[in-house]
Structure formats: C-alpha cells, structure tokens
Amino acid sequence: MILFRKMKPVMDEKILWFAYYKSEPIAIFINLPDLNQWFKYLDGKFDLLHKLKFLWIKKNRKNHRFTGLVFGIIPAFQSKGIDSYIINESKFVIQSKTNYTSYEMQWIGEFNPKMINVVESFGDTFKTRRLITYRYIFDRTKAFKPHPILH
C-alpha cells in the first residue's frame, strides 16, 4: 500500500485494472505510463523545481507509451477466462479513451508459461526484447535449483 501511495502522482487510472467477485479482488493488471517520456525533460534532476516541472510536463505533454508491471489472478479463478476479460476490457478503454499507442510488458520469467502464452497471443510484433535471468551461486557447495515451472 505504501508503494501505491508513492506511485500515485504518476499513475493513470485508465490503465489500472482490478477484477472482483462478490466484492473480493480476484485479479490485478497494473500499468504505468512510460515515465522516461516525461523524465527526459528534467536533465536528471528531481529537486522541488524539477518536481513542479514534472507535474507541468505530465499535464501538458502527451505520453504515448505505457508499461506493464503486475498481472495476476488468484489461483481459484485461474483458467476461467478472467485474464482474457481483463485484457480485452483494458484494450477497449485504452484504444478508445487514451492517447497510448505503444505498450511494453516488462519482465516475464521463463518459468511462467501462462504469461508467456498471454504475450504470444498478441502476436510477433508485440515482443520488443527478450530478458533472461542469470544466477550466480556464490557458495559452490550448494546445489543450483531453477525456479519451478508455474502451472
């Protein structure tokens, strides 16, 4: 909750999605505008004057990119179409009621085939880069165990 309060100045409610069942949250789809589209005008500074400048830029310069941060569905509601619903509803709102034209999903672990399938359903042009997780075992006496595949 503290993190959300800190992020509030840069959030856009049109790209934040929650799904509920009987008033209980069951899914989340959190995105943020691409902050670099605004921060590039601040010359690497963020003192009081630059914070005010940031607020002015945010209000007056359109940001056409946004980034996915969190996507999740509680286990009891997985494989019930909630993921498709939340993505399609957000797509409708984003395309018809915002200025966003470019979307980037951040890191998806190679151990998460469900999210990889979601991304691949958008098509080949959706992938902008491939991120790989490398691990270094400092204690060579410990066995390496990769993250288990999520089902």
**Residue range 50-95, pLDDT digits in tens:** 999 999 998 899 888 888 888 889 999 988 989 888 888 888 888 8
SS3 17: strand
How many Å is the Cα radius of gyration of the chain?
18
Instruction: Please tell me the distance from the alpha carbon of residue 91 to that of residue 54, in angstroms, as a whole number.
Output: 27
Annotated domain spans of the chain:
2-102, 107-151
What digits encode the pLDDT tens for the residues 31-46?
899 988 899 999 888 8
**DSSP assignments along 74-124, one per residue:** -GGGTTTTHHHHHHHHHHHHHHHHS---EEEE----TT-HHHHHHHHTT-G
